[in-house]
């Protein structure tokens, strides 16, 4: 029974310490709020709550700015590679050539997965969702690497990070191969990160398969754009799960589970499903009207973002890449792309979307590129997970090395019944 008192408008005035980061809004330090003033704070969805200090990624949602370790996403997208960005996110600085070579070698060293783990896939039904397989198999890594329980050892942290980044593509490709009933293709380290993944996805033992360099470049770019995004839902999940001291592979698995949801990483799959359902430009007004109707749960997938109240800078990069990729891969214009462009145009002119600052997010266009690369819709969020694994491990490492971090344990505003005595079953009146 909701307690009407929870809506009561009381105010109180408190003096609280303010902490300032390098850039961005300052925060009120409320860590002593309860012990000194007897209050908790109430912030559903943690919309204005900073749960930690972090030096990895900075977002200015109003201006549409995204920086990894201070470097603008536009510059990294243009000049860098996914593995270099992974090094940057993990270590804080761009690598020299020899540092990058050593890092890449370490990743190649871990691309294989234990053969027993590979056999797990036979236990899944052929139509199991690849995200379900990814969750199961990555979670099982904790059974293969129980030693990582000693998570304060920096060597083990590095080993854990490298294993996750190296093995996720192998596990993802195995999930795909299982779903289409094809034999598993082993990693080929000399190919490079994105190239090797495309090879594992699409090569067959019956014929030569050469990866299209434009496809590999496009995938590498998408991975750069998705590599980290500060305290997003899945990264916060990894931190929260990891804060209990659980095996880090289990913490990553929690993040994968969170990413799967359509409000987060599952949006790329949901966008394609939505565009397929809309089918034709003439149907757009009907779907836009549905998105605006409070009684209809339908939302325009790929629109809106908790932090960006401006065009998502990643969406801008992907948008301009999309035509180039389609052209270079020799695809005829994808009708879904035309539909997406028209939908964007209509929504951006609509007062509902303007007032709420709802712009296309990174996932509005990423699915169209994935489609052009031949990646099935159900694998889109898996691709996202591969890229985001870099952010997850970087945040997990930052968390375990942060002396201020404690077990993550939010409080609540209780609105249930107060204390009451047990009623004998024979004397209960029932609800109605
Ligand atoms: N379509 C229609 N209306 C929307 C949409 C949308 N896509 N997104 C938000 N709104 C409306 C809400 O109904 C709400 O309206 P109201 O103020 O009249 O009640 C207002 O905009 C604010 O929305 P919230 O849900 O409060 O915003 P929140 O920050 O909690 O949600 C989210 C952000 C989950 C991303 C939301 O915009 C959404 O569901 N978008 C579609 C799913 C999507 O694309 N997710 C991918 C995000 S990017 C990523 O994770 C990589």
Cα–Cα distance list, 327 to 74, 131, 152, 323, 365 (Å): 22, 30, 49, 6, 15
**Model pLDDT, residue 8:** 60
Tell me how far apart the alpha carbons of residues 268 and 266 are, in angstroms, rounded to a whole number: 6
Residue appearing with tokens 């009207």: 289
Residue at token pair 């304060």 = 152
What is residue 151's predicted lDDT score, i.e. its pLDDT? 81
Segment 56-67 shows an average pLDDT of 96
Asked if 371 and 336 count as a contact pair (C-beta separation under 8 A), the reply is yes
Q: Is the pLDDT of residue 184 over 70?
A: yes
Residue 59's DSSP bridge partners are: 66
**Which residue, judged by its Cα, is nearest atom 24 of ligand 1?**
306
Other CB atoms within 10 A of residue 394 CB = 27
Whole-angstrom distance, CA of residue 70 vs CA of residue 335: 38
Q: What is the pLDDT of residue 1?
A: 43
Q: Which residues contact 151 (CB under 8 A, 6 or more apart)?
A: 157, 160, 245, 248, 400
Torsion of CA 227, 201, 194, 219, to 10 degrees: -60
The Cα 57–Cα 89 span in angstroms is 8
Residue 418's CB: how many other CB atoms inside 10 A? 6
Model confidence at 148: pLDDT above 80: no
The one catalytic residue in 228, 305, 312, 395 is: 305
Active site residue 363: yes
Q: pLDDT at position 172, please?
A: 98
**CA 299 to ligand 1: nearest atom:** 1
Q: Whose Cα sits closest to atom 27 in ligand 1?
A: 306
Count of positions (residues) in the chain = 432
Chain centre to alpha carbon of residue 27: 25
Q: What's the pLDDT tens digit per position in 23-58?
A: 999 999 999 999 999 999 999 999 999 999 999 999
What are the tens digits of pLDDT across the range 256-268?
999 999 999 999 9
Pocket flag, ligand 1, residue 302 (CB < 6 Å): yes
Half-sphere exposure at residue 20, Cβ-oriented, CA atoms within 13 angstroms? 2
State residue 423's pLDDT score: 96
Report how far residue 426's alpha carbon sits from residue 16's, in angstroms, rounded to the nearest whole number: 53
DSSP state of 94: P
Instruction: State yes or no: is 280 an active-site residue.
Output: no
In this structure, the number of other CB atoms found within 10 A of the CB of residue 13 comes to 4
On whether the CB atoms of residues 361 and 312 are closer than 8 A, the answer is yes
- DSSP-based three-state secondary structure for 148: helix
Catalytic-labelled residue, pool 220, 228, 350, 363: 363
- Mean pLDDT calculated for residue range 300-320: 91
Q: What is the pLDDT of residues 99-138, one digit of tens each?
A: 999 999 999 999 999 999 999 999 999 899 999 999 999 9
Question: Strand, helix or coil at 18?
Answer: strand
Backbone angles phi, psi at 88, to 5 degrees: -60, -50
So what's the pLDDT on residue 324? 80
**Would you state the pLDDT for residue 5?**
54
CA-closest residue to ligand 1 atom 14: 356
Higher-confidence position of 135 and 7: 135
Task: Give the CA distances from residue 191 to residues 68, 106, 211, in Å, rounded to whole numbers and listed in that order.
Answer: 26, 15, 9
Cα Rg of the chain, angstroms? 24
Residue nearest to atom 15 of ligand 1 (CA): 356
CA–centroid distance, 210 to ligand 1, in Å, is 41
CA distance 139 to 291: 36
Cβ atoms 178, 133 nearer than 8 A: yes
What digits encode the pLDDT tens for the residues 345-388?
999 999 999 999 999 998 888 988 998 899 999 999 999 999 99
- At 2 the pLDDT is 47
């Amino acid at each position: 029974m909701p307690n009407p008192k929870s809506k009561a408008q009381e105010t109180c005035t408190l003096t609280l310490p303010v902490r300032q980061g390098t850039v961005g809004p300052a925060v009120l330090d409320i860590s002593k709020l309860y012990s000194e003033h007897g209050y908790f704070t109430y912030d559903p969805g943690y919309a204005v709550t900073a749960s930690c200090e972090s030096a990895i990624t900075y977002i200015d949602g109003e201006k549409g700015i995204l920086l990894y370790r201070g470097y603008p996403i536009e510059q990294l997208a243009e000049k860098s590679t996914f593995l270099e960005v992974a090094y940057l996110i993990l270590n804080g600085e761009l690598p020299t050539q020899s540092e990058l070579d050593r890092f890449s070698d370490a990743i190649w060293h871990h691309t294989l997965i234990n053969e027993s783990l590979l056999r797990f896939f036979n236990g899944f039904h052929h139509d199991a969702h690849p995200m379900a397989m990814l969750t199961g198999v990555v979670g099982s890594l904790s059974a293969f690497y129980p030693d990582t329980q000693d998570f304060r050892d920096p060597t083990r942290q590095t080993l854990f990070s490298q294993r996750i980044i190296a093995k996720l593509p192998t596990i993802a490709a195995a999930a795909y191969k299982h779903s289409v009933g094809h034999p598993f293709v082993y990693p080929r380290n000399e190919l490079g990160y994105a190239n090797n993944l495309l090879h594992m996805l699409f090569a067959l033992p019956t014929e030569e398969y050469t990866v299209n360099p434009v496809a590999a470049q496009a995938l590498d770019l998408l991975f750069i754009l998705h590599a980290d995004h500060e305290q997003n839902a899945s990264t916060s999940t990894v931190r929260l799960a990891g804060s209990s001291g659980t095996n880090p592979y289990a913490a990553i698995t929690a993040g994968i589970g969170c990413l799967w949801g359509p409000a987060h990483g599952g949006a790329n799959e949901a966008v394609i499903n939505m565009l397929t359902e809309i089918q034709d430009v003439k149907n757009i007004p009907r779907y836009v009207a549905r998105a605006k109707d409070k009684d209809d749960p339908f939302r325009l997938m790929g629109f809106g973002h908790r932090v960006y109240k401006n065009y998502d800078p990643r969406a801008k990069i992907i948008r301009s890449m999309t035509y180039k990729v389609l052209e270079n891969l020799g695809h005829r214009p994808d009708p879904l792309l035309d539909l997406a462009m028209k939908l964007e145009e209509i929504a951006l002119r609509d007062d509902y979307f303007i007032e709420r600052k709802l712009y296309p997010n990174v996932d509005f266009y990423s699915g169209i590129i994935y489609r052009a690369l031949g990646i099935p819709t159900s694998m889109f969020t898996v691709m996202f997970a591969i890229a985001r694994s870099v952010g997850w491990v970087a945040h997990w490492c930052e968390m375990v090395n942060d002396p201020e971090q404690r077990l993550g344990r939010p409080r609540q505003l209780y609105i249930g019944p107060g204390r009451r005595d047990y009623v004998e079953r024979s004397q209960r009146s029932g609800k109605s």
